Amino acid sequence: MPTEGSACGPAIPLARWADRQLDALARDFGLPRLSGSTLLGERAAHGGYRIAGKVSAGLGGSRLMPTRDGNWFALTLIREVDRELLPALFGDADLDVRDPAAIAAAVLRSDGAALLETGRLLGLPVALLDEQPVSPAIDVIARGPRRDRAPGHRPLVIDMSAIWAGPLAGHLLWQAGMEVVKVESRSRPDLIRRDDPATFDLINQGKASVLVDFASDAEKARLVTLIRRADVVIESARPRALRQLGIDAQRLVGEVPGLVWLSVTGHGASGEAADWVGIGNDCGVAGGLSRALAQACGTPGYVGDAIADPLTGIIGARAVLQALRRGEAQRIGLSMSAIAAMALDEERAFDAPRLEAELRAWGTAPGRPFPALRRRALHAPVRPLGADTAACLPERAPC
């Protein structure tokens, strides 16, 4: 695949950090060379997004709002169930959950820490400007037996994740030459198929497509059989949801030699944080990016487009490739908020003045388009939804 073109317009802060990670992937594992600007900005560039300050780019699903105690509260509303929880969040049964002004007024009447605690108990994607990530960026939370792979072995990846971070990790593993099977629920396919088909196609090209009825014990059992043949699993489910799917990640890592299991989470894969919901925009806030923007230009806002997602996808692919090289079965937990914080800290250490200049430029750019990027070409078909289910989940024969 060709090297990607460069961006023009205001640089996306942390794109150079992403460049260095992608350079390492190309150098150490033979991936085609991609640019950080491309992976951080292609969704926004191709969607015609504009930099929107305290409202996230695109559909504006996340908003950063001041609280009564002088903090700033990030609230992401992209699911209908999230709006249904707002009266409980604010203790106001009469709140108009469709009115952004009414929601902002309710935030302004509230203390930030109380909103954060209640929001996370309710399962809402929320963050505070001044919070600190509570989990490591990368955490090995289980280990299992080794597997020595023969030269030329083509690893099999089962990608059960959705939206952006996990599928991007799977995309990079496909670029590394792996066989990737995308697994979706029959009742709830990946929303990005419908909401952003152009991005879906880019990061899911070349993957087989499997549909599973998670209400069917037989289909879940066949999926577990497929997982036991795999080298890598990627998922982005909270622990309770994974258990409800009938999948025991800890047990599988302990039993399947060399299996690398990647759990993509908002705030951590173990402890209390494993149950917190996090999405790219609010995880960027929780990781300190909006505070860094405020320090650089005087006012907080969103940095990039759901930036914690592509940062995490890149780190996830690198973590998987390193684990496969070692051969030991592992369950690796990724925290998107902590990865955003890690990237920020590392970029500051690498070139603080340039990062500061990029943040100032970003903070003064609301209303301007995202950087223009040349669209990446597809290099493999995008399989129709469920096209490979019969082949990969047969009753007897292997995929």
Domain range list for the chain: 15-40+134-273+303-392
Tell me the mean pLDDT in the region 221-248. Answer: 92
| Torsion angles phi and psi, residue 329, rounded to 5 | -65, 135
> For 110-138, what is the mean pLDDT?
97
Instruction: Tell me the per-residue pLDDT of 311-335, one tens digit each, with 9 for 90 and over.
Output: 999 999 999 999 999 999 999 999 9
pLDDT given for residue 9 in this prediction: 62
Tokens representing 390 are: 């019969």
**pTM score, two decimals?**
0.95
Q: ∠45-49-51 over CA atoms, to 5°?
A: 110
Q: State residue 394's pLDDT score.
A: 87
Contact criterion met (CB below 8 Å) for 336 and 308: yes
Give how far Cα 170 sits from Cα of 156, 181, 355, Å: 11, 9, 29
Q: Tell me the CA distances in angstroms from 200 to 3, 129, 189, 243, 264, one per residue in order.
A: 20, 30, 12, 27, 18
Buried b (16+ CB within 10 A) or exposed e, 329-341: bbbbbbbbbbbbb
The helix/strand/coil state of 213 is: coil
User: CB of 131 within 8 A of CB of 71?
Assistant: no
Q: pLDDT exceeding 70 applies to what percent of the chain?
A: 97
On the question of pLDDT at 214 being above 60, the answer is yes
Neighbouring-strand partners of residue 264: 334
What whole-number distance in Å separates Cα of residue 331 and Cα of residue 136?
14
Question: How many helices and strands (H and E) does the chain possess?
Answer: 17, 10
DSSP category for residue 3: P
CB atoms within 10 A of CB 213: 14
Check residue 239 and give its pLDDT.
Answer: 84
Mean pLDDT of 153-182: 98
Structure tokens, 34:
């991609």
Q: pLDDT band at 241, cuts 50/70/90?
A: confident
> Under a CB-based contact definition with an 8 Å cutoff, are residues 180 and 325 in contact?
no
Architecture label for domain 15-40+134-273+303-392: 3-Layer(aba) Sandwich (3.40)
Q: How sure is the predictor about 7, in pLDDT bands with cuts at 50, 70 and 90?
A: very low
What is the C-alpha to C-alpha distance for residues 203 and 171, in angstroms, rounded to an integer?
A: 5
Q: Quickly list DSSP for 139-181.
A: EEEEEEEE--PPTT---EEEE---TTHHHHHHHHHHHTT-EEE
The model's pLDDT over 185-198, given as tens digits with 9 standing for 90+, comes to 999 999 999 999 99
pLDDT interval class at 395 (50, 70, 90): confident
Whether 152 shows a pLDDT value over 60: the answer reads: yes
Residue 4 has pLDDT above 80, yes or no: no
Q: 183 - beta bridge partners?
A: 210
DSSP conformation class of 62: E
Residue-wise pLDDT tens digits, 267-304:
999 999 999 999 999 999 999 999 999 999 999 999 99
What local confidence, expressed as pLDDT, does residue 8 receive?
58
* C-alpha dist (Å) from residue 154 to 157, 180, 232: 10, 10, 11
Q: What is the predicted pLDDT for the residue at 242?
A: 86
Residue 318: what pLDDT? 98
Taking all residues of the chain, what is their mean pLDDT, rounded to a whole number? Answer: 94
